[in-house]
Structure 1
């Protein structure tokens, strides 16, 4: 008997509002000011997107120090620390800020807790750009916590005034365990009224959870340095379904398909839909042409680019 092959396509998937805004900021800046436009770090964590923008005249640099004086410099969607802003000012850079508004909200909260003299517990992955940016808003008062074990080991008295913030791209399950520890350990704990985990990370994880029970295999399109894409793979694995990250269709492995009837497919918030389409075409070649959509939420949020890029006055 042949397999009854099909694809369960998760929705929402691919670009979120913050990523769309960040990419459009570079496209609009190139249109208005011409190439080159310098971008500090990868605008979003997706190699395909970065390559495409490079072909159009964006130059990606590791540090604001690598940007020629007075040039246009775009800050990536992950946000930057105040130190980076000062460095950019010292070099007279013309800064266009593509920080995701949800990350900016976390930065504001970090400043507020620092003013209240609280120790800030930042839940996130050390070395991730977003964590570095948030940390930089109150470096003397911030500790980074990656796991529930880290939270248990915090060397602070139980009545210490503390507050927590989380990296926006984490998985809800991961942070839940950590927040339970903090809740138990500290009597004077503040946190954001609502969860810091952004609506897009949450929705994409929820959509993966919705397709897992009916999937024999879950494929998530996203780059290896994309935190939210990796979390989606982990969500599926935690629920007991084999899951793989697919940076692009060239890394698809047909061995994954052995004995598989239903394949769940999704994509991280920084992965463009074209990569999903290429993967679906590849799966169709192996007989998985029947696609069923599994929608858990509708995303209507739009973040607009800065006015200087959308008004019609010519540059110069």
Structure 2
């Protein structure tokens, strides 16, 4: 049975021009190619989430440092706007929509008094009022992954900072899984991940799944799904290769995985019906630490980096996945 940890307050034409010369006319000018949509701020290590109207991009980092703004992507026009509200600058956090008007932003790394720290603040962004409120994260983690399942938000895995581990401290992966219950406003501890790791999670037909990851020594190919009824994890078919620094998106009965720290152009798809992995047939431009979001019959792969030193991308790649 889940064990209560603490109670927290409820808190996301081209015009054709004909030039007449005597009786002759020039051929039609070719239509210019449509420009690819881009972010206003290049970024990686950000998080992105959709409600039923738009896609929101939070935080991340680029060559100028940590980012504390929110961009709103219109899924119809594909344009991005920076909203007149700020969050705490952070990267490697997670975000999840509660299904109504709130988006919760968990953990990650920020800067406090000139030093890096795991961000202990949960920020709650109201998509209607566009205001941000804050509360404390009981067990803060970087590179955690959050997903909503029913009336609960699960925060899975990630890394804690062990200041006693060495002179400069070090990150340690955790298998911790917590769930915030909207009904009784309580935070519960659930069954741990089978392995401690930074991972990516999503919900699918009543289950919570975690795919790939890294524990600061090893990279994982494993794929596990959690059953909230039995509070147990079940092994799924492993990925074709160990994968980290990736993003995930789900459409119907298919899971899409974009990027890999060691192979940026990796794009995989898992079919829940056949239980098979394959390469995704789409012109994905490789990166790591991007964010992927499903909206309708399209997947948006946003930002990322191709450089270990952190040059950030402003790209918004869009793939049609509907019938």
Structure with the larger strand share:
2
- TM-score strictly above 0.5: no
- Return the structure number with greater relative CO, CA threshold 8 A, min gap 6: 1
Which has the larger share of helix?
Answer: 1
Q: TM-score, normalised by structure 2?
A: 0.27
